[in-house]
Structure 1
Amino acid sequence: MSDEQEDAPRHLPFVLGIIGDSGSGKSTVARGVRELIGPARVTTLELDDYHRYSRAERQELGLTALNPMVHNLSLVQEHLNLLRAGRKVRNRSYDHTDGTFGPLRVLDPEEVVIVRGLLGFPTEELRAAYDLAAFLYPEPELLFRWKLRRDTKSRGYSEAEVLKSIARHLVDSKIYVLPQADRADLVVRYEVPEWDAPDTEVRTTLTLRRAAADAVRSNGIAARLGEHGSVEDAEGGEVIVRIDSTLPQTVVDDWGQERFPDTYASASYGMYQGDEGDAGRLVPLAFTQLLIADLAQKLRRPAQPGSQGAGAAA
């Protein structure tokens, strides 16, 4: 077999962006979506791998990781276009433990490519490279809580270091990261009724646009939520889905077993890091993971003549 035949695309992958500020829950959501679809069918692209500078170099330059100058956005665009076409890409990897870069690695796109990071679609040109663009948007109190918890419990930072980092990130987040919510097909908004309310009282609101909104209108979510949420049409063709913190686990289990019978396991979804670094579970989070995985399966691009299998959809 020739090199050209070996590199020929097997299918047109579905490119799913899970984007949000540092500490917004991207890894948690992406992990659940990947497990539901099936790890063998998913390739994950980490946008941190496209940093231009190491952590030490960023600090010397006085730049946060949220600043577009830190990211090689032209290479991100090139690689997303290649992955969308079913082609392999090569890039170095970023190591969060010390903020340096590792060796080159090859990404071979499977049926779904999950793109995870801070700046996934800061421009309309980059936005066009995604079949489904999701943006995670915790309210400030929750984001502060989750980032502090993650960085102290999982990444070895002191509380003082995290607080200093958050203060430096606030302005860049407002300028560069949060505006991406306006370009997303799905915005996941997390809120608490009071600033000191526990995570178990988090209220989840999903705003869906374009094809994602059409898909939700026809998949019976309102009936599933019952009295524990609502689905309503909004201006501009949007659909707003509200999920109460009281949503019963049985609702998620029934949907998961029906939609993903080969991969859904009740104890695996909705898992998150608790206050003490222990594992906790949020039913609305599991519901959100299911919804995103469901959309990734339904919004498919038709296979092109001569390609093997089907890819994803705009």
Structure 2
Amino acid sequence: MSVKHPIIAITGSSGAGTSTVMQSFQHIFRREKLNAQIVEGDSFHRYDRLSMRAEMKAQEEQGNLNFSHFGPEANLLEELQDLFVSYGRSGSGKVRKYLHDAGEAEPWGQAPGTFTPWQEIAGDTDLMFYEGLHGAWAGDGIDISAQVDLCVGVVPIINLEWIQKLHRDQKMRGYSQEAVTDTILRRMPDYVSHLCPQFSRTHVNFQRVPIVDTSNPFIARDIPSADESMVVIRFANPKGIDFQYLLNILHGSMLTRPNTLVVPGGKMGLAMQMIFTPMVLRLMDQKRRA
């Protein structure tokens, strides 16, 4: 953690909706005129797309049928921790991008599924913003969560998470339902061992809960809309949170525990703005004082 060079991390699994949370923070950064260094979790995968396929095949031949991006072996977690430590100390470090598709790859003259070269961070950033799978990971002598000033977990209930992943990977990435289902099953041990524990280390968790039937996510024709959901917001430390103000602003919300606020799904974006803007401004105030 660093006062002079704060770090915000959004952590959640593939298809959980971390990109939506990222957009809310980008609105805050733009409105408050903050220059954030964006770090994509995918850029700290150990293997590019073709190498990952080869490694998965090699692992299967050795009897490991559950090798996935969720686990530490497929990622550069020590390097991610080193980046956070370096940035916290001096605002410096090296980053790269993972090029998901042809649109992202074309400006670089590279193939999709590859990494750009490592580059030094510019020296004029106000804070670092990470979005990916391992923003609160800890284990094997590594504690990424200890380097983060504000960590947010995005955790839809599991059936909704699967529905979102199925729709995204089939419609946007062209995968078959069978391929997506195989990925979900292969990742499950790492999901339980390496993703779930992170949500006990986050400062705030957002969990979207549908209020429509999602009993069989594999036949769902569409993703439940925001208005067909409620959002459970859990604060690890509720001290300083003005719950009465939030209840007045977010109509239809309620407190279910002293540290848990439930809001209508359609107000999730507004809730994020109301909750995180003061937190970001507090980090910036501490930075200026330092």
Q: Is the 8 A contact 2:24 2:272 kept in 1?
A: no
> Cα–Cα, structure 1 residues 78 and 149, in superposed 2: closer, same or farther, change >3 Å?
same
Cα distance in 1 for partners of 2:121, 2:176 equals 34
- CA gap 1:289/1:172 in 2 versus in 1, 3 angstroms: farther
**1:61-210 pair list within 5 angstroms:** 61-62=55-56, 63-97=67-101, 98-108=112-122, 110-123=125-138, 125-196=143-214, 198-199=224-225, 200-210=227-237
Supply the AA of the counterpart residue of 1:198: P
TM-score by length of 2: 0.78
Structure 1 residue 223, shift from structure 2 partner: 2.1
How far apart, in 2, do the equivalents of 1:40 and 1:300 lie? Answer: 9
| 1:224 pairs with 2:249 | yes
Q: Which of 271, 285, 307 is the matching residue for 2:269?
A: 285
Preserved contact between residue 13 and residue 310 of structure 1 (Cα < 8 Å)? no
Match of 1:244, as an amino acid?
P
Residues 36 and 290 in structure 1, CA contact (< 8 A), matched pair in contact too? no
Is the CA contact (8 Å cut-off) linking 2:39 and 2:95 kept in structure 1? no
Provide the C-alpha distance between the structure 1 equivalents of 2:170 and 2:274, rounded to a whole number of angstroms: 29
Distance in 2 separating the partners of 1:103 and 1:299? 31
Q: Report the Cα offset of residue 30 of structure 1.
A: 0.6
Q: Alpha-carbon deviations, 1:221-271, whole Å to 9, x = none?
A: 122234x0123653xxxx1111024xxxxxxxxxxxxxxxxxxxxxxxxxx
Residue by residue over 1:88-146, the C-alpha shift from the partner in whole angstroms, topping out at 9 and shown as x without a partner, is 22233222233222222333362232111101121172111011111111001110111
**Counterpart AA for 2:255:** V
SS at match of 1:43: strand
1:77 Cα deviation after fit: 1.0
How many equivalent residue pairs? 253
Structure 2, unmatched stretches of 5+, are 57-66, 102-111, 215-222
Name the residue aligned to 1:244: 264
Aligned sequence identity (%): 21
Residue 26 of structure 1 contacts residue 116 of structure 1 at CA under 8 Å; is this kept in 2? yes
Question: 2:35 aligns to what?
Answer: 41
Say whether the 8 Å CA contact 1:21–1:178 is kept in structure 2: no
Letter of the 2:16 partner, please give it: S
- Pick closer, same or farther for the CA change 1:242–1:72 going to 2, 3 Å: same
1:93 aligned counterpart, secondary structure? coil
User: In the alignment, does 2:54 pair up with 1:60?
Assistant: yes
Contact 1:94 1:102 in 2 (8 A): yes
What is the CA-CA distance between 1:291 and the residue it aligns to?
Answer: 2.1
Q: Are the structure 2 counterparts of residues 218 and 299 from structure 1 closer, same or farther at C-alpha, using a change threshold of 3 Å?
A: farther
Paired letter, 1:42: A
Contact 1:221-1:231 within 8 A present in 2 as well: no
TM-score, structure 1 length as denominator? 0.73
CA gap 1:219/1:295 in 2 versus in 1, 3 angstroms = farther
Superposition CA RMSD, Å: 2.4
Once the two structures are superposed, residues 159-190 of structure 1 have per-residue CA deviations (whole angstroms, 9 ceiling, x without a partner) of: 33222222212222111111100111111111
